[in-house]
Amino acid sequence: MTKLTHLAAFALMAVATLAAPARAELTIRLTDGVIEPMPVAIPTFIDEGGAGDIAASLSRVVAANLVGTGLFREIGAEAYISQVGSFDAPIAYADWQAINAQALIVGAASAQGDQIVVKFRVFDVFSGAQLGDGLQFAAPAASWRRMAHKVSDAVYSRITGEGPYFDSRVVFVAESGPKNERLKRLAVMDQDGANVQYLTDSSSIVLAPRFSPDGSRILFTSYQSGFPQIYVMDVATLQTRSLGQQEGTMTFAPRFSPDGQRVAFALERGGNSDIYTLDLNSGQLSQLTNSPSIETAPSFSPDGSQIVFESDRTGTQQIYVMPASGGEGVRISNGQGRYGTPVWSPRGDMIAFTKQNQGRFHIGVMLTDGTEERLLTSSFLDEGPTWAPNGRVLMFTRESAGAEGQAQLFAVDVAGLSLRPVPTEGPASDPSWSPLLP
Amino acid sequence: MGVWRDMDTGTKASAIAHGALIAWVIVGDVLWPFDTSSMPEVANVSLMSEADFAALQASAPKPSEAEATPPPARPEPAEQPAEPLPEDLPVASEAQPEEAPPPVAPIAGVEQPIPVPQSETPPAPRPMDRVAATPVDEQPDTPDVADQAAPEVSDEVPPDAEVPPPDQPAAAPQEAAPVVVTEADPAPEDAPQLAPTTSIRPKSRPARPAQTPQETPPPDADADAEAIAAALAEATADAPADTAAEPAADAGASADIPEGPPMSGGEVEGLRIAINRCWVTSTLSTEAMNTTVTLRVEMSEAGKPTSIEMTSFEGGSAAAADRAFEAGRRAVNRCAGANGYDLPPEKYGQWNVLNLIFDPNGMRLR
């Protein structure tokens, strides 16, 4: 009887196996996609009343933002087969498929009192479906560019899955005058180069501005006293204060901690520089390194537990990581050439740096343990990378060769895509990206 | 005169030249008065300290900046409350804001928060108010965009894809088509019909027969056969319920679907290349580039996808997997085009359901 039971169980299993839908299914592994901009259609936003030119301007800024990433390619309106007559009209997917638009952005703007309301939807054309929910924003008409940046952020994040970064600003050093007598002053602009505002005059040289984590303050180095000295500026009031100066010392390369309560910087005394932190609440100064070599360019990890910095303690400029409380540090750069200006990604996964090798300068990224080094640029002089708030894009300074050479801001995707200049009114250097605007 | 006579010619010439020079110096200004109008102007100077210079420089007008920056609006910094900095921090000796070029409008003046539109109170700045996931109901009679989307997709589903009878056991067809091409073992190009995978397996079993002969043969084979037959009959009666639980597998599995021979390596490779060509990975996030997703695609006989769903993912978050899925879905739909993929119709049973594994890991650093 037991044997019969076993046989019956076996039979049941066999039948269950036979009855299961074990139909042959072809399985294919795909590993070789294409890296090319995604074709996207961005018809002019519909004016639903009173928006006037703002509707068209909004769509142009959105298109410029998306195309500027290098990840998208806009399909010209002349190629459109069908037009979007109203915001709620059904989408003629076949018409957009025919022009190979993979995504379609439909938007509209209207005036409501003194506000402009913008709404939009994103469609996956070939899947015939809307991507996510529609969104809308409202703001005074004067802030229409910010609304455009917010729309761009939402579209970008919805399609790519990356965090937003268009609605952010960049502080930089605006330069003028000949190369040997250059005047420098701090300026701030939208990440796309618009809305430039100057924060200081040109009476003294300023260097290396750095936004605080909340964007309300800016650290910078100034020669106002005749020697490099760190100052902090309140962005709203422009009130500027020195962070203190010890006799016979120079301070430079400041950067905020992630909580904004401390500043790490380099302090030079007698030809030797080490890294210090200053507690902004208590004024307490802490020395983190103590080496006869030059240590500088500290940058906190996003969790505040570590600091990456550069040092020439081995004879050449290299990158090290140490605890935020100080210590010897561990060298993480191991390639050929010299490494400097390390900056920890806001996502914490990578460190951007400047590399000099064989007479060329590069902007590169590596994992925080120094592996998977990737050089993103190469030129006569590239230096000083800064991360976008989403950790996907880098901005840096590129200076051309020769007596007429000028500094210019460039941006590049962390994958090395879409290297492009950032438009500024004149020569510019030392960019520092703000967090997303509130 | 005797001395003059004794001089050589060179000495005489030198004496005459020096005499003439001395005479010109003495009486030259009288005979040829100097034109003072051509003299450079000279200003009196005095030394000043570095501090004086800095103060002077700071107070000097700076026309270029005045032109470059808009006038007013800058709040008077001197009256502003101090930052939350320690009181004992020294203030710059020459406070920059006082001397700073006019007119820098504070950022906060420009960066107005964007309120939620419908709200009457000044809302939380950040919130991005949602438009209804489906079109707004301001015009209830206008077609709903989201509602339109689904029909457009489902309209393309061939009726035969929904035909499979729910109670049809899948057992019978299975034995006729045991060939499964996996990612690890792609189908050989010239595989004999239905043979390759099953014909190889016996080679791995030679060790067992040594023990099998030791077992005693079943004593009452007839009785067992009856029991098995009864169990089979009972189990077969339950089978429809089990298969109904997996409708997707049956979507294209009706008995009249031509199985055909297995797909050749070239055919599989052609399909792989076609989909790869439309798989745009540049818009994937860094995390999505670390995420492998498996899509189950049901195909119509015309070679067009009728249903695409993600069956599994690994290596990233659910959000990253969603983005990776969307990119894969776009690739499958886009390259199907209006005419569908070029696949052998006689082998429809082989490709009516595709498992596509989108693995971008190797592309991360390219």
Q: What is the DSSP string of A14-59?
A: HHHHHHS-----EEEEE---B--PEEEE-PPPEE-SS-THHHHHHH
Our CA-based measurement puts residue B272 at a distance from the nearest CA of chain A, in whole angstroms, of 7
CB count in 10 Å sphere of residue B252: 25
Our CA-based measurement puts residue B342 at a distance from the nearest CA of chain A, in whole angstroms, of 15
Instruction: Give me the pLDDT at residue B206, please.
Output: 54
Which of B346, B355, B9, B334 is CA-nearest to residue B182?
B355
Residue in chain B nearest A284 by alpha carbon: B86
| Residues in a beta bridge with B80 | none
Q: CB distance A283–B268 less than 8 Å? A: no
Question: B294-340 pLDDT, tens per residue?
Answer: 999 999 999 999 999 999 999 989 999 999 999 999 999 988 888 88
Q: CB distance B174–A22 less than 8 Å? A: yes
Q: CB distance B107–A128 less than 8 Å? A: no
Band the pLDDT of B58: cuts 50, 70, 90: low
Residue in B89, B148, B271 closest to A244 by CB:
B89
Instruction: Give me the pLDDT at residue A269, please.
Output: 87
Band the pLDDT of B208: cuts 50, 70, 90: low
Which residues have C-beta within 8 Å of that of residue B155, sequence separation ≥ 6? Answer: none
Instruction: Give me the pLDDT at residue A213, please.
Output: 95
Q: Which amino acid is present at A37?
A: P
Instruction: Give me the pLDDT at residue B250, please.
Output: 41
pLDDT of A299 higher than 80 = yes
Question: Which of the given ranges, A92-96, B151-155, B159-163, has the highest pLDDT on average?
Answer: A92-96
Q: CB distance B326–A124 less than 8 Å? A: yes
Q: CB distance B65–A27 less than 8 Å? A: no
Q: What is the mean pLDDT of chain A?
A: 90
Q: What is the ipTM of this complex?
A: 0.78
CA distances from A79 to A41, A92, B186 (A): 10, 14, 42
Q: What percent of chain A has pLDDT over 70?
A: 95
Instruction: Give me the pLDDT at residue A4, please.
Output: 52
Residue in A136, A195, A201 closest to B101 by CB:
A201
Our CA-based measurement puts residue B38 at a distance from the nearest CA of chain A, in whole angstroms, of 33
Show residues of chain B in contact with A30, CB under 8 Å.
272, 275-276, 279, 328, 331, 356-359
Band the pLDDT of B53: cuts 50, 70, 90: low
Q: CB distance A226–B74 less than 8 Å? A: no
Q: Is the backbone of residue A397 left (phi > 0), alpha (psi -120 to 50) or beta? A: beta
Show residues of chain A in contact with B281, CB under 8 Å.
33-35
Residue in chain B nearest A35 by alpha carbon: B282
Question: A357-415 pLDDT, tens per residue?
Answer: 999 999 999 999 999 999 999 999 999 999 999 999 999 999 998 877 889 999 999 98
Q: Which two tokens stand for residue B350?
A: 């082989």
Q: Does B330 touch chain A (CB under 8 A)?
A: yes
Band the pLDDT of B139: cuts 50, 70, 90: very low
Q: Does B101 touch chain A (CB under 8 A)?
A: yes
Q: CB distance B268–A8 less than 8 Å? A: no
| Residues in a beta bridge with A118 | A109, A137
Instruction: Give me the pLDDT at residue B228, please.
Output: 53
pLDDT of B156 higher than 70 = no
Show residues of chain B in contact with A32, CB under 8 Å.
276, 362-363
Our CA-based measurement puts residue A307 at a distance from the nearest CA of chain B, in whole angstroms, of 23
Q: CB distance B110–A128 less than 8 Å? A: no
Show residues of chain B in contact with A391, CB under 8 Å.
286
pLDDT of B1 higher than 60 = no
Question: A24-82 pLDDT, tens per residue?
Answer: 678 999 998 888 899 999 999 999 988 888 999 999 999 999 999 989 999 999 999 98
Our CA-based measurement puts residue B10 at a distance from the nearest CA of chain A, in whole angstroms, of 54
Our CA-based measurement puts residue A313 at a distance from the nearest CA of chain B, in whole angstroms, of 31
Instruction: Give me the pLDDT at residue A391, please.
Output: 95
Show residues of chain A in contact with B132, CB under 8 Å.
133-134
Q: CB distance B86–A281 less than 8 Å? A: yes
Question: A46-61 pLDDT, tens per residue?
Answer: 999 888 889 999 999 9
Our CA-based measurement puts residue A91 at a distance from the nearest CA of chain B, in whole angstroms, of 7
Band the pLDDT of A7: cuts 50, 70, 90: low
pLDDT of A264 higher than 90 = yes
- Residues B313-322: contacts with CB under 8 Å, at least 24 apart: B315/B290, B315/B291, B315/B361, B316/B287, B316/B288, B316/B290, B316/B291, B317/B287, B317/B291, B319/A161, B319/B287, B320/A161, B320/B285, B320/B287, B320/B288, B320/B290, B320/B291, B321/B288, B321/B291, B321/B293, B322/A161
Our CA-based measurement puts residue B204 at a distance from the nearest CA of chain A, in whole angstroms, of 22
Q: Does B146 touch chain A (CB under 8 A)?
A: yes
* Averaged pLDDT, B285-301: 92
Q: Does B173 touch chain A (CB under 8 A)?
A: yes
Our CA-based measurement puts residue A315 at a distance from the nearest CA of chain B, in whole angstroms, of 31
Q: Does B72 touch chain A (CB under 8 A)?
A: no
Instruction: Give me the pLDDT at residue B223, please.
Output: 52
Question: A177-229 pLDDT, tens per residue?
Answer: 877 788 899 999 999 999 999 999 888 889 999 999 999 999 999 988 888 89
Selected for mutation to probe chain B from A106, A202, A237 (highest B CB count within 10 Å) is A237
Instruction: Give me the pLDDT at residue A432, please.
Output: 97
**How much is the pTM?**
0.67
Residue in chain A nearest B63 by alpha carbon: A201
Instruction: Give me the pLDDT at residue A168, please.
Output: 96
* Averaged pLDDT, B263-289: 89
Pairing of strands A115-124, A135-140: antiparallel
Band the pLDDT of B193: cuts 50, 70, 90: very low
Q: CB distance A225–B92 less than 8 Å? A: yes
- Residues A222-229: contacts with CB under 8 Å, at least 24 apart: A222/B96, A224/B92, A224/B94, A224/B96, A225/B92, A225/B93, A226/B50, A228/A252
Residue in A198, A231, A372 closest to B101 by CB:
A198
Q: Does B182 touch chain A (CB under 8 A)?
A: yes
Selected for mutation to probe chain A from B59, B91, B114, B275 (highest A CB count within 10 Å) is B114
* Averaged pLDDT, A310-335: 94
Instruction: Give me the pLDDT at residue B23, please.
Output: 86
Our CA-based measurement puts residue B209 at a distance from the nearest CA of chain A, in whole angstroms, of 20
Q: CB distance B171–A15 less than 8 Å? A: yes
Which of A109, A123, A114, A7 is CA-nearest to residue A53?
A109
Q: CB distance A27–B354 less than 8 Å? A: yes
Residue in A150, A241, A392 closest to B89 by CB:
A241
Show residues of chain A in contact with B143, CB under 8 Å.
88-90
Whether the CB-CB separation of A197 and A188 falls below 8 Å is answered with yes
Q: CB distance A36–B282 less than 8 Å? A: yes
Pairing of strands A103-112, A46-47: parallel
Q: CB distance B170–A124 less than 8 Å? A: no
Instruction: Give me the pLDDT at residue A226, please.
Output: 83
Show residues of chain B in contact with A87, CB under 8 Å.
135
Show residues of chain A in contact with B180, CB under 8 Å.
24-25, 27
Band the pLDDT of B169: cuts 50, 70, 90: very low
Q: CB distance B68–A234 less than 8 Å? A: no
What letter does residue A379 receive in the DSSP assignment?
A: B
Residue in chain A nearest B194 by alpha carbon: A24
Instruction: Give me the pLDDT at residue B227, please.
Output: 54
Instruction: Give me the pLDDT at residue B83, please.
Output: 39
Our CA-based measurement puts residue B162 at a distance from the nearest CA of chain A, in whole angstroms, of 16
